[in-house]
Structure 1
Amino acid sequence: MRVKKVAINQVKGSTIRLQRGVGLIEILITLFILAVGLLGVAALQFTGSFANKDAISRTQAEMVAAQVAERLRAAARPATVGDGMVANNDYFSDTTYNFSGLSCASTSQPYYGCCLTRPADIPNCEGQSCTETQMAKYDGWALSCSAVQTNPQTTVSVSCADNNNADTYSCSPGSRVEVLLMWPVSSSGNHQYQLNSRCNKADGDSNACVFKDITL
């Protein structure tokens, strides 16, 4: 074998050197290319996690906003003053939603503390009669639980642009009702949020939201 190899080398007019191992420069270049590729993958996953979280929050908020509208219409009754439908005033109170007054609201995961078991302060309106005020409180709790099921920072707000301040209704017949679900967001990397002025009323606010305007 050794004689044959020498003959081949003489024909080619060159000397064959056997390379053993890999040089340090080749190793460094390989590591650099690998590091750049891994950083790109990490950045893509980081940005994707932000987008995925926002998509889940937005989908849930859309569903809850529709539920709020359905509950309001189910609770509506003919007005005694004016022509149209009205709902109990407590449906338009901030204290009705977001576990207001409940100790479980201070936890980082209100869904597990407030929703898996009905708090004692919330009336049991399932399968038994409740007054309009009790029903509003129960609905507010149930809707708040739906809102925080996927994002504990989501808040529910139901307000009314009352067109008649002279009557006793917080939302007079024919008034526009705004259902707003909102949660804080932050821009990071290549993921930039287009903030809506309707859910970012003050300078420095950074919220995403879903809103629905209805009339009863």
Structure 2
Amino acid sequence: MKSNQGNVSLVSRQRGVGLVEILVALLILSIGVLGYAGLQLRALGSTNESHFRVQAMAIAQDVAERIPVNPDSLAIYSSAGSWSQAAFADRSMPAGWNQCVTGSCDTASLAQWDILQARYQAWTLLPNGRISANACAANLVCITVGWNDADPTNCDPASEDCVVLEVMPL
């Protein structure tokens, strides 16, 4: 009989230990779930960043392909003053959008039209997207596309939201 009473006192002392183990396991699980959710958010941010970089690179590549087609207007393309940083008022097509499609253009008008199209693409495809081009190292034109708060006229692609494409016009 004595041994029977000893078992009862052991059981009563262990009451609630299983609940504490479950609560500790639940705490560890919740920390793991929060960590996983944080990783998912980070992955989503990286996906957006890579999407913006691809869009910016495509816009810069488009401008890089237009410059050799119109070599007489290289001075217009490579002048930072040609690339207004003013935002478009809304997402509608800017004035002069079809000027070189429906009418005839000289080389200077074609360069201005190319710049207008590139600016509009940057503005509509990127958050606060802006583009600039200027003469950089010997015989090169640097095309810079920036988004968010990055200023394309003064941008470091290693630390800011921008891409820089160096082009050697023919």
Choose from 194, 203, 209 the match for 2:163: 209
Q: Flag the structure with larger Rg.
A: 1
Measured in 2, the distance between the counterparts of 1:147 and 1:103 equals 11
Name the amino acid aligned to 2:146: M
Name structure 2 gaps, 5 residues minimum.
1-6
* 1:117-196 pair list within 5 angstroms: 117-120=92-95, 122=97, 124-161=99-136, 175-184=139-148
TM-score (norm 2): 0.71
Measured in 2, the distance between the counterparts of 1:22 and 1:133 equals 83
Partner residue, 1:72: 67
Aligned length: 157
Identity %: 27
Name structure 1 gaps, 5 residues minimum.
1-13, 78-86, 105-112, 164-174, 186-197
Partner residue, 1:60: 55
Change (3 A) 1:153 1:103: closer
> Are the counterparts in 2 of residues 123 and 134 from structure 1 also a CA contact under 8 Å?
no
SS at match of 1:40: helix
Partner residue, 2:31: 36
Q: Per-residue CA shift, 1:118-170, capped at 9, x if unaligned?
A: 2225562113202333222221121123334442233212111486xxxxxxx
Measured in 2, the distance between the counterparts of 1:120 and 1:154 equals 19
Greater share of residues in helix: 2
Measured in 1, the distance between the counterparts of 2:88 and 2:163 equals 26
